[in-house]
Structure 1
Amino acid sequence: MSREYPIIALTGSSGAGTTTIKDAFARMFGNQGLIAAFVHGDSFHRYTRMELDALLSSQPEREETLSHFAVEANLLDRLEALFQEYSQQGTGTYRHYIHAEDKELVEQGHQVGTFTPWESLPESTDLLLYEGLHGGLVTEDINIAQYVDLLIGVAPSINLEWIQKIDRDTKLRGYSQEAVINTIQARMEDYMRLILPQFSRTHINFQRVPVVDTANPFEPQSVPTADESLVVINFRENQKVDFPYLLSMIQDSFMSRPRTLVIPGPKLPLAMELIMQPRVQELLDGRRFK
């Protein structure tokens, strides 16, 4: 797909590790002298935290169905419109959702759980990078995936995903462990219906797999480190991949299936650079107007 304004989307569940991949892309863009527009999926939630709490307090029966994964809890028509506009014109509007870890925005006076005002994307960007829950979403009414030139899934083993979410939300966002576990359970139906199908549309999936015991993810424990993990990287069949080159460059890597590369956890930054840099360059080289 050749577009003047390419879109890369990182899609994954809450706590999956999409931010780690986004940061790797940001470093790569900086090294290549590229200017990217960064958009976070949380910015397209429909409700502030206070509004959502009030809604669920007045309609407690909706607590099982109105999760942040759900279509009705998000402004996905606006996200689809942003992708369409950016792919055609390199423009669009976005905003920020304020998390507790957004120290700079909090220091500016923004309240956690609210949004900044809608604003225009920066001008003259080379590409757009989306990180969030719905980058590959397709429903009867919405098709966000059609505008994405490179769709990447971040899907660690499910127990690890939950451990990472519990660790982040308790340490950085101030939630109790019980509250985080309740959220995981309440979102399960939407996770299966809306999140998992996206990983069948991705061009590349990154799945971190721990090699330590995570049998009970709801037991208090530390997050497995990169040294205690392998990363499974799967490529869709139509992707051109020089596997012999990757195997020669990434020590201790191996092929578990014909299109699946397994690497030691600490080698992920290197693998990201080797795999993604040429793909980003292909997107830029394929632009209709240079």
Structure 2
Amino acid sequence: MSEHHPIIAITGSSGAGTTSVTRTFQNIFRREGVNAAIVEGDSFHRYDRKEMKLRQAEAEQAGNMNFSHFGAENNLFPELEALFRDYAATGTGRRRRYLHDTEEAAPYQQEPGTFTPWEDLQKDTDLLFYEGLHGAVVTPEVNVAQHPDLLIGVVPVINLEWIQKLYRDKTQRGYSTEAVTDTILRRMPDYVNYICPQFTHTHVNFQRVPVVDTSNPFIARDIASADESLCVIRFSNPKGIDFPYLLNMIHNSWMSRANTIVVPGGKMELAMQLIFTPFIWRMMERRKRALGTRDRKGEKL
């Protein structure tokens, strides 16, 4: 953690909705004039799309039916921790980009599913913002979770998460229901061992809960809308959270536990704006004071 170079990390499974949370933070950054270095977790996968398919086929031939993007062997956890550690210490670090589709790949004249070369982060950023699968991962070898100043988990109830993944992968990526189902099953051990444990380290968790029937996600025709959902927001440490203010600002919300507020699904973005804007203010104020103190000592900024 660093007052000079703070880090915010959003962590959640594939299809959990972390991208939507990222858009909310980008709106906050734009409104508050925060210059953020944004890093996508997919860029820390070990293999590009073609090589991952080859490795998966080899793993299956060897009897490993659970080879997935969620596990340690297929991700660069030490490099991710190094980025967080270096940024917290110096405001610098190295990253690359994963090019998901033709539109993203075109400016780099590369194929979709490939990585750009490693490069240094842009200079003089106010904070680092990470969004991906492993922002709070802890293994015997690495502890990524110790570095972010603000860790946010996004974890819909499992059936809703699967519906969101099925809908996205079928409509946006052209996969069949059978192919997506196979991916879900293949990832399950790594989901249990690498994704779920992260939510014990997060500072705030957002869990969307549908209030419509999602009992068989594999036949669902659409995703439960925001108005057909509730959002459960849990704080690991509720000290300093102004719950009366949130309850007053977000109609039809209530406290389910001393550290948990429940809001209508359609108010999830409003809740994020109300909760995290003060966090950003405090981060930037602490950074300003810390940099000012360093400057007065005559050290190089």
TM-score, normalised via structure 1 length? 0.96
**Counterpart residue number, 1:159:** 159
Deviation, 1:113, is 1.4
Q: Distance in 2 between matches of 1:23 and 1:135?
A: 17
**Counterpart residue number, 1:87:** 88
Q: Distance in 2 between matches of 1:185 and 1:107?
A: 35
Say whether residues 1:171 and 2:183 are aligned partners: no
Q: How does 1:251-290 map to 2 (within 5 A)?
A: 251-287=251-287, 288-290=290-292
Q: Please list every run of 5 or more consecutive structure 1 residues that lacks an aligned counterpart in the other structure.
A: none
Alignment check: 8 A CA contact 1:2 1:283 kept:
no
**SS of corresponding position for 2:14:** coil
Per-residue displacement from partner, 1:184-215 (whole Å, max 9, x unpaired)?
A: 11111111111111101111000111111100
**SS of corresponding position for 2:98:** coil
**Counterpart residue number, 1:241:** 241
**SS of corresponding position for 1:86:** helix
Aligned residues: 289
1:138 alignment partner AA: V
2:96 alignment partner AA: R
Structure 1 pair 229–65 and aligned structure 2 pair: CA distance change class (3 A): same
**Counterpart residue number, 2:72:** 71
Q: How does 1:162-241 map to 2 (within 5 A)?
A: 162-237=162-237, 239-241=239-241
Q: Distance in 1 between matches of 2:137 and 2:171?
A: 30
Structure 1 pair 121–7 and aligned structure 2 pair: CA distance change class (3 A): same
Deviation, 1:252, is 0.9
Q: Distance in 2 between matches of 1:37 and 1:2?
A: 15
Deviation, 1:57, is 2.3
Say whether residues 1:8 and 2:5 are aligned partners: no
Q: Distance in 2 between matches of 1:49 and 1:62?
A: 21
Which 4+ residue blocks in structure 1 deviate beyond 6 angstroms?
Answer: none
Q: Distance in 1 between matches of 2:164 and 2:12?
A: 13
Deviation, 1:107, is 5.8
Deviation, 1:105, is 2.9
1:209 alignment partner AA: V
1:144 alignment partner AA: V
**SS of corresponding position for 1:187:** helix
**SS of corresponding position for 1:232:** strand
**Counterpart residue number, 1:97:** 98
Deviation, 1:289, is 1.6
Alignment check: 8 A CA contact 2:2 2:88 kept:
no
Structure 1 pair 239–111 and aligned structure 2 pair: CA distance change class (3 A): farther
What's the RMSD between the two structures over aligned residues? Answer: 1.4
**Counterpart residue number, 2:298:** none
**Counterpart residue number, 2:299:** none
Q: Distance in 2 between matches of 1:276 and 1:21?
A: 11
Q: Which has the larger radius of gyration?
A: 2
Alignment check: 8 A CA contact 1:24 1:272 kept:
yes
Q: Distance in 2 between matches of 1:124 and 1:58?
A: 44
Q: Which deviates more from structure 2 when the two are superposed, residues 166-175 or residues 71-80?
A: 166-175
Q: Distance in 2 between matches of 1:70 and 1:106?
A: 30
**Counterpart residue number, 1:19:** 19
Q: Please list every run of 5 or more consecutive structure 2 residues that lacks an aligned counterpart in the other structure.
A: 293-301
**SS of corresponding position for 1:212:** coil
Q: Distance in 2 between matches of 1:82 and 1:65?
A: 28
Between the aligned residues of both structures, percent identity stands at: 53
Say whether residues 1:134 and 2:137 are aligned partners: no
Q: Distance in 2 between matches of 1:219 and 1:63?
A: 28
